[in-house]
Structure formats: C-alpha cells, structure tokens
Amino acid sequence: MSIRRIAITTGGGDAPGLNAVIRAVVLSALNRGWECLGIRDGYNGLLQPEEYAAGGLVHLDRESVRGITHLGGTILGTTNRGNPLHYPVKDEAGNVQEVDRSDELVAAVKAQGIDAVVSVGGDGSMAIAHALVQKGLRIVGVPKTIDNDLNGTVITFGFDTAVSFATECLDRLHSTAQAHRRVMVVEVMGRYAGWIALNAGVSGTADAILIPEIPYDIHKVVKKIRERERLGLYFSIVVVAEGAHPAGGQRMVVSKQAGQAERLGGIGYRVAAELQELTSRETRAVVLGHLLRGGTPTTFDRLIALRFGAAAVRALDEGCGGCMVALDPPTVRYVPLEEATKRMKSVPLDCDTILTARDLGISFGD
C-alpha cells in the first residue's frame, strides 16, 4: 500500500533527542511527497481531540521543525499521556478506571486517513505499538530510553546525554569531596539496569559503583574507602543506580536511620547513611535523577536520533509495517517490535566495561 500521510507520536518519558527524531521523520516524509501529522500528548490527541482548541493533530511542515534538532523535550507536548490500552477514565463515583481504547484509536487513525504511524518511545510504547499492529495499524517504532535497558538495539538516543551529564556532575563533586574530605554518594537513574551508573562511574573515576545486576555488601564499599585512606586519599565517590540493592535482601540495613533515609530519599540516601555510620567520615548524598532526563542532546544523541527518524521513514517506504529501528553499529537495522519488549537489557557481568572497572580498581561492593 503506498503511503500518502503518516503520523508521529512521542511517548514514555522525556529524553534528549525526541525533537531531532521528529525533524528527521518530517523532512524524510515531506521529501517523499508524504504528508506528516503530529499527534499531541502521546496518543491523546487522537483519543480526546476535543481537549485541544486547535485539534489533537498538528500539521508538521518544514517550518514547524526548523531549528529544533538540539532542543530538549518534544514539540508534541507531554509524553506520558494517552495510553490507549490503559486509558484512565473517571466513573460516576469519581474513581479512575483504566479502559482499553485501542479499537477507538485504530478507528481514529483510519478516519484521519493516516496510512502509517512512527511511534517514538520506550518498552511501554513498543508494547502498545505491537498491540496496535495486531489490530491492523502499520507502525514503525523508534526506541527511546535514558537507561539503555531497551532490548534489540545496542544503544539509543538519550543515554549518551545522561551519561555525559552524570560524568560532569562527578567531575564537579570530585574537587569538593577532596577539599572537604568527604564521601559523596551519587544516585543516578537505572531502576532495572546499571548502564548509566557503570558508564558514568568509570568515566568519572568513581571509587565504587553499585548496580542492580550486582547486589552489594556495604562492608565491601567501606573496605574500599579504608584502602584509599591508607593511600592518603581522604575522600571517595560512590555511584549508585536507583535500582541497586544489598545482597541478602533489603532488610539487611545497617541501622534504623539508614532505613528511614531510604524510605524518604531513596537508595542513595540509605547508602550515604550507612557509610557515614560505618566510616565516621562526613558523607553526602546527591540525587541526579530528574537532571539526567532532559535538556539538549549531545552531538552523539542528535545524530542517532536523526538517523533513527530517517530510518523509520525509510522502513515504511520499504514496506515495513511492524518493526523497530535499532542501532547495530555502524549501521541501523530493523528488528521485530517484540524484540524490544520481550526482556530488559541488563549489564552482562562479563562485559568489557565491567572488566575495565575492575582493572581500574573500582569496587562493585561484591
């Protein structure tokens, strides 16, 4: 079926590079003589068009994507709304129920004369895309994840920006840790996979890195801090992924205070409290969380985002109807949408970056 009109949707969380993808999709489509629409707020623009004074679809021309390659966020609005499989609806009692509105969505896409959709998002968005493809839509996915835990692609846009900024923060904390003789515990994103913690920790010369893939023993981290003190280095940097956890279960907490710190501030606060208690050294927790998700993409992420956007349109042009673009350096290829959703991509314990960290003397608390 030849294509005349496509639509693009951005879903999941914010990630640097979304606008670059949009720009590449729009220009690649227009240069093929296709029309290109943007769906506002995930799929919400199609499901609740009456919410939008100017309509839930935006006509995207060259002018609308000029100068947006390096802008953070997405020109299509919010990203975490309008999940058609679990659409929140208030019942008469005012309680929110989740409703499957995917059939409505499929009908709306067809009613608008949209021949194909480019869906940019994480594993959630890819799962939705997969479900919609089953119902007859033609969709190409563009993978997006800050955490790098999306399966099927070696890497995707947003991750390099997050790692780069986390590394810059570690650089900043180094001089202060040294000048004040402190232990700095830095929590970064990564609920299921420790990629950001690992890559930023190695680049930013952390002394210990705690990741979900390697349950830690806090006493091993203390040992590392003590070793450094014996070398005259009275400061240490510990990077903690938000999904890190102690070996032996969460209850193995050093003290009531540490447990309380975790409930209120997250694992970073817990590790800081434990290290302060066990080392008697001044310890501070810094939570980078929200800072890693937004902002201007690095050049690396800009380029991947542009390549992915163009590849998505090329995939449609070549007749693909239910695939995801993926990076298999140096090239971009297409993989089945299920590839992205069947499992998380966690850090292999024998990957060379883990080996590098160990060679450099960095502790994983194991």
Q: Please list the active-site residues.
A: 147
Burial of 300 (0-12, 13-18, 19+ CB in 10 A): middle
Q: CA-CA distances (angstroms) from residue 325 to 43, 145, 287, 308, 320?
A: 20, 13, 32, 6, 10
Pick the closest to residue 18 from 75, 56, 67, 62 (CA basis). 75
Dihedral sign computed on CA atoms, order 185, 267, 125, 324: positive
Type and span of the H or E element at 126: helix 123-134
Distance separating alpha carbons of residues 276 and 351, to the nearest angstrom: 32
Closer CB to its own copies, 165 or 216, in the complex: 165
* Residue 67 or 249 having the CB closest to its own copies: 67
Q: Which is nearer to its own copies, 230 or 249 (CB)?
A: 230
CB of 311 to its own copies, least distance (A): 6
Q: Give the nearer residue to its own copies in terms of CB position, either 107 or 355.
A: 355
Cβ-based burial of 282 (10 A; exposed 0-12, middle 13-18, buried ≥19): middle
Query: Residue 351: what are its φ and ψ, rounded to 5°?
Result: -70, 155
Strands (E), 152-224: 183-188, 208-210
Shortest Cβ 117–its own copies spacing (Å): 18
Give the 3-state secondary structure of residue 270: helix
Collapsed DSSP state (helix, strand, coil) of residue 26: helix
Which candidate, 153, 151, 157, 133, places its Cα nearest to that of 320? 133
Minimum CB separation from its own copies for residue 313, in Å? 7
Q: CA 17, CA 28: separation in Å to the nearest integer? A: 17
Residue closer to its own copies by CB (options 192, 300) is: 300
Least distance from its own copies to the Cβ atom of residue 318, Å: 11
Q: Which is nearer to its own copies, 131 or 209 (CB)?
A: 209
User: CB 351 → its own copies: shortest distance, Å?
Assistant: 7
Shortest Å, Cβ 174 to its own copies: 7
